[in-house]
Structure 1
Amino acid sequence: MLSNNKDIEESNFIDSLIGKMTIREKLGQMYQICIEANNENVAFNLEDDRSLVKKGFAGSVINLVDRNLIQEYQKIAVEESRLGIPLIFARDIIHGFNLIFPIPLAQAASWNLELAEKAAAITAKEATICGIRWTFSPMIDVSRNPKWGRVAEGYGEDAFLVSSFAQAVIRGYQGENLSDPSSLAACSKHFVGYSATEDGRDYNVTPIPPRELNDVYLPPFLSSVKAGVATIMAGFNDLDGIPMSGNKELLKKLLRDEWNFDGVVVSDFNSITEMIFQGFCQDGKEAALKSIESEIDIEMVSLNYMNFIEKLIEEGYIDTELVNKCVRRILNLKHKLGLFKNPYSNNNFTEINSDFDNNVALELAEQSLILLKNNASFLPLKDDVQKITVIGPLADSKIDQMGCWSMDGDIDRVVTFYESIKSYCLEQNIELYYDSILPDCRVSFETIDDVTVEHIRRSDVVIVVVGEDSLMNGEKHCRAYLSLPLGQSKMLEKIAEINKNVVTVVYAGRPLIIKDILSNSTSVLYAWHPGSMGGKAVTNILFGKSSPSGRLPISFPRAEGQIPIYYSHKNYGRPPLERPISVNDGDFHNSIGWTSEYLDINHKPLFPFGYGMSYTKFEYSEIKLNKIILDIDDSLEVYINVKNVGSVDSYEVIQVYITDVVGSVTRPQKELKAFEKVFIKQEEIVQLKFSIPVKSFKFTDINGDFVVEPGQFKVWVGSNSEECLNMEFYVK
């Protein structure tokens, strides 16, 4: 329903434009060309891209980032095509454009929605200067398998946490009004279940039970729709036998009809054609039919719509109005972006590379770093440190510090850890020695030369930077083994033999298997891939300028055999017995009961969801509720006191979980329902109040309905998913 005169005027303009378009021009709006790949334009006898644009046979462009070329192509579309319809230029801008922020998984580790929103807004400002108005981000796939390379691109294992970051990032990209020249249309992807790929291999099948799909994988997308996301991308995956590019049940009936999403849906790169290889379509004609019936508006790169839709109309398989619906949504997006009035990028911001932007990147990086081990409070480094040795190729690698999907990053804006600590040591008159030892992080370890051995021996602390390079995660970069590459592991072991005061910093895009790191380190700081300002962030944490406040957005396994491992699993009929954590991984022990356990490893994660250490300690007390018995329309109000009982001012992440004790179907042991990151000074006590609607306890019941069932519940409040205070309450 049109709400005002402006909506009516926009609708009339778009309807008038559609009325003037030929079928080929309509299909052109539904075709996204890739200038970089140029993907053989078979339908047009290899005509070049400029000719396609001039004829009106392309509606959007992916992967063009040069501002002058963007202006050139836009000028052809607006001034030389018959109807003058502007192009939209799109790009996979995942965690920054020129200024690179921490990877999304690291941003989730910050548990700071405000900083994530600011980072997205800065990214939008930079990208739109080039003329890019559409990003294929955020990736909001709930990710529970760290073998999957794209776990780096998302916000972790929990639907509520992912949903919260999805909304924050969408707000940051899109701003208050899409017509603002610095607004970037967001795209929530990959609809839906793509992260549940079997064996953690990209493009594999995703066998997800319907109830799990409804309760875990769909909620972030519904949150995105409620946040006003402009576009959604369909996934590559085969979901229960139906590839998402042709999944009418979810794309049409759920997303369009039930959720009333009226934005643009785009396919993934060549994914419509790939339904042929998946055995779901006989040929491109059938692929085009199934995709358009699912109301995918734009086909990315492949040419099935251009080649076959017109014939499908002629043969009576589809009606022209279905094409018009798709085109109307595309033109509506262009209108909302203000492209008909202002198709060219005329932004000339002087604030690029501003102190504000760099400080946001620095603060977000600092708050994403997670302290996993700190024997005898070795960190922060003390004032009496006089000599430091830094080891590892990742310590001074600008590209690897930025992480995956940073192809547009300005390398001159990157401050590596070595550059940062070198500057700090010069200021503090600390002797510093650096040797990468390995030329890169994948090669075998042979030896450490005598000069470096002597420096290691004489140092007060040895800081070793290990982990993954930027190409070891991201799309198609999946791993079967998650331990450090063997060369780095042996190097770390040798260093620890020479000097026990080892601080290990881990750069990675996923949880790694880190038992060798823990055993050879006094302290371990998990830095993810922290972006342009990550080196300075690591330095600030190590020397105590900031206290670590990152918390895990995903559980860390002890071994690959535990995967998938996540905190919100269901209850067992035969729960595992508590074993001493000291059981050595890989050693066999006798079963002590008929329970759900492993013979050769503790069943618990190495580090649970929500975990992270600080340079201080926090004490939780006096949990209170507003009511013990609640109605469906009530909100549960939870009160908790948190005291900083240490000697360092620091942030704490207070996490609130709910347990539905008995249901018509088995329920998760805990589910995150609220969190807040709070700065608490030493000896300060803060009282926090969380108001949680009872309706947020809904789940898919035995009849397939989305309901809150009456009965007994528990609320848990604490610093991670395992260490919590709790109280019971009831819903009637």
Structure 2
Amino acid sequence: MVDIGRDPRWGRVVEGAGEDPYLDTVMGLAQLRGFQGDDLAASDTMLATAKHFVGYGAVQAGRDYNSVYLPQILLRDVYLPPFHAMVDAGVAAVMPSLTTLNGVPATADRGLLTGILRKRWGFRGLIVSDYDAIPELQTHEVAATPADAVRLAFDAGVDIDLHSGLYLAQLPQLVRRGVVPMSRIDAAVRRVLDAKYRLGLFANPFRYDNAQRQKQVTLSPQHLALARKAARESMVLLRNVHHTLPLSRHLRIAVIGPLADARKAMLGQMSAEGEPQDVVPILDGIRRAVGDAVRVSYARGVGVTSDDLSGVPAAVRMAKAADVAVLVLGENQSLIGEGHSRSHIGLPGRQMELARAIVAIGKPVVVVLINGRPLTIPWLSTHVDAILDAWVPGDEAGPAVADLLFGTDDPSGKLPMTFPRDVGQVPIYYAHLETGRPYNPATRLTRHYTTHYVDVPNSPLYPFGYGLSYTSFAFGPVYLDSDRLRTGGTLHVSVRVSNTGKRRGAEVVQLYVHDEVASISPPVRLLKGFRRVSLNPGQSKTVRFTLVPADLAFYLGHGVVGTESGTYQVYVGGDSTTTDSAHFLFQEGTK
């Protein structure tokens, strides 16, 4: 899934790579390589489908399946590029969105599927509808009958009807009536057969039905170790005052919260063959990490969505008897994923009352979040001692969380989406445009006539790219190997990064670019690269990036994407708010 997600109310942000097209593209290409490999006929590959083409993540009000309206500049610069990259990299199939785009259902949009995808980009693979998207053309009120729906979808370019059976029921009569040419049927069938041939299904139609292999690889030690590593490295440390984390293994620990002993919630909504009984819950991970010599007590306190507060007094008593409280709070599988949009994106149920009661005791409090979207948690961000966002950590949830809580490993994850202070700020993302009246809190006389809220700051709670470590990092000046980038040339950007703390750690160094003056108002900055660098205490490394003119390109209008001459600013740092920068000039047409 390479949908851009800039509205955390939308439940499916948990499935994508966040708000930024560059990040979405990099992550999508990595998944594509993992699925398809170098040879679809190999035993460890499968056909990949890029979805949902296009704009699904921009549903109005964050409500799943709602209408989508996107101006051409956003469509071309933000939502289309990840799909274009997938096509260029050889993705085997593309799935149109269930939604309308500017009034036209994507499943019936010939300009989108045939015009852009097939003709402009040269895509030769399969186009497969989303689940029942073809009969839903009647619900969209663009088709009067099932036959109309099939005609529209097939004419738009959809090769495969997922689930509904309408192609099977309606296409034969549409061919007999001359509405659909047989040559078009042949072309679609040829694409399907070609995919099956490339998968090796002609040679062995049962090649994926291997019970012995399934037994060997499912939950194998190697896969569990990778699951633990992936979960651990994706977690983001949002807050850590007074160096509360990592915890000593000799403290008495009260583990509290509705998700501390949860299993199914660790798998999320679309867990496929994942089984709750295979999950190591966070409570078990903590107990395994400290052993029998340390007292680890547990109280659920409240449910995820329940209004029942009867368990809070017991949780308070348990926290009073401990040295530190670990609160495991957030969302379960019923609140995230497809069809699970939320209008309120704070902690659900009565979890905040539980948190307030535990904080009032005065003991150190660590919050572990389980969530499939950015949450509005301003009170937690100023009242608890540490916050670790574990997202939806999977089978090895407990061991991965414990690795970070007790310092076996260092947190290094960064936020792929902006965390708002309040849902009223949504949609909020780092790559916004500057306004004619930007807000400056220092300018008292004119602040009433600038872009701002009267009841909350403009700034996010946590910005895109943000994430703390148990150590600290310093960035040197940003160096460019030239003050000019020319057509066909390259510009090398470098920065010296140092570990100034006392622990080994990893920093994700991020490169952003800003066009200072353009023919169309430019975003304040755009991510164009990132590198993960691991450093011992006192160690320094030079991190290098390369920029080419295509990195500066944007939609100029009238179907043209290009790069304009002018001055650009390069930012390098640990998140999207970094101020360390340098300037260069791009001169179009010069070499």
TM-score by length of 2: 0.96
Q: Which amino acid aligns with 1:203?
A: Y
Say whether the 8 Å CA contact 2:301–2:309 is kept in structure 1.
no
Q: Give the superposition deviation at 1:377.
A: 1.0
Q: Which amino acid aligns with 1:658?
A: V
Q: Give the superposition deviation at 1:452.
A: 4.3
- Aligned residue for 2:116, secondary structure, equals helix
- Aligned residue for 2:260, secondary structure, equals helix
Say whether the 8 Å CA contact 2:256–2:315 is kept in structure 1.
no
From the superposition, tell whether residues 590 and 189 of structure 1 become closer, same or farther in structure 2 (CA, over 3 Å).
Answer: farther
Aligned ranges 1:476-491 → 2 under 5 Å: 476-491=339-354
- Aligned residue for 2:429, secondary structure, equals coil
Distance 2:442 2:305 in 1: 36
Distance 2:349 2:163 in 1: 40
Say whether the 8 Å CA contact 1:551–1:611 is kept in structure 2.
yes
Distance 1:363 1:579 in 2: 45
Say whether the 8 Å CA contact 2:4–2:79 is kept in structure 1.
yes
Q: Which amino acid aligns with 1:366?
A: R
Say whether the 8 Å CA contact 1:148–1:479 is kept in structure 2.
yes
Say whether the 8 Å CA contact 2:285–2:397 is kept in structure 1.
no
Match of 2:17 among 146, 155, 160: 155
Match of 2:412 among 549, 552, 559: 549
Structure 1, unpaired ranges of 5+: 1-138, 581-588
Distance 1:534 1:499 in 2: 28
Aligned ranges 1:619-638 → 2 under 5 Å: 619-638=474-493
Distance 1:146 1:213 in 2: 19
From the superposition, tell whether residues 256 and 449 of structure 1 become closer, same or farther in structure 2 (CA, over 3 Å).
Answer: closer
Partner residue, 1:127: none
Name the structure with the higher helix share.
Answer: 1
Partner residue, 2:59: 197
Partner residue, 1:434: 298
Q: Give the superposition deviation at 1:315.
A: 2.6
Q: Residue deviations 1:224-262, cap 9 Å, x none? A: 112211111111010001100001001001100111111
Q: Give the superposition deviation at 1:616.
A: 0.8
How many residues were matched structurally? Answer: 583
Partner residue, 2:469: 614
Q: Which amino acid aligns with 1:359?
A: A
Partner residue, 1:575: 438
Partner residue, 1:467: 330
Say whether the 8 Å CA contact 1:633–1:695 is kept in structure 2.
no
Q: Give the superposition deviation at 1:497.
A: 1.2
Match of 1:243 among 105, 108, 111: 105
Say whether the 8 Å CA contact 2:325–2:364 is kept in structure 1.
yes
Q: What CA RMSD, in Å, does the superposition of the two structures yield over aligned residues?
A: 1.6
Aligned ranges 1:480-559 → 2 under 5 Å: 480-559=343-422
Q: Residue deviations 1:665-695, cap 9 Å, x none? A: 1111101011011111111000011112221
Aligned ranges 1:197-276 → 2 under 5 Å: 197-276=59-138
Partner residue, 1:673: 528
Match of 1:406 among 259, 271, 292: 271
Q: Give the superposition deviation at 1:579.
A: 6.4
From the superposition, tell whether residues 379 and 590 of structure 1 become closer, same or farther in structure 2 (CA, over 3 Å).
Answer: farther
Q: Which amino acid aligns with 2:356?
A: E
Say whether the 8 Å CA contact 1:443–1:487 is kept in structure 2.
yes
Q: Give the superposition deviation at 1:517.
A: 2.2
- Aligned residue for 1:480, secondary structure, equals coil
Distance 2:511 2:102 in 1: 33
Q: Give the superposition deviation at 1:314.
A: 2.6
Q: Residue deviations 1:326-359, cap 9 Å, x none? A: 1110110100000010111354333432222111
Partner residue, 1:380: 246
Distance 1:450 1:276 in 2: 54
Q: Residue deviations 1:101-126, cap 9 Å, x none? A: xxxxxxxxxxxxxxxxxxxxxxxxxx
- Aligned residue for 2:521, secondary structure, equals coil
1:699 paired with 2:564, answer no
Match of 2:287 among 416, 422, 433: 422
Distance 2:566 2:381 in 1: 43
Match of 1:325 among 148, 165, 187: 187
Partner residue, 1:397: 262
Say whether the 8 Å CA contact 2:256–2:300 is kept in structure 1.
yes
Q: Give the superposition deviation at 1:450.
A: 5.7
Distance 1:182 1:432 in 2: 42
Say whether the 8 Å CA contact 1:462–1:499 is kept in structure 2.
no
Distance 1:567 1:550 in 2: 18
Partner residue, 1:639: 494
From the superposition, tell whether residues 288 and 184 of structure 1 become closer, same or farther in structure 2 (CA, over 3 Å).
Answer: same
Q: Residue deviations 1:487-517, cap 9 Å, x none? A: 1110111111123311011100000111132
Q: Which amino acid aligns with 1:222?
A: H
Identity of aligned residues (%): 35
Match of 1:353 among 199, 210, 219: 219
From the superposition, tell whether residues 302 and 631 of structure 1 become closer, same or farther in structure 2 (CA, over 3 Å).
Answer: same
Structure 2, unpaired ranges of 5+: none
From the superposition, tell whether residues 449 and 729 of structure 1 become closer, same or farther in structure 2 (CA, over 3 Å).
Answer: closer
Q: Residue deviations 1:336-387, cap 9 Å, x none? A: 000010111354333432222111111111111111111111111135x431
Q: Give the superposition deviation at 1:445.
A: 4.0
Say whether the 8 Å CA contact 1:275–1:287 is kept in structure 2.
yes
Say whether the 8 Å CA contact 1:500–1:522 is kept in structure 2.
no
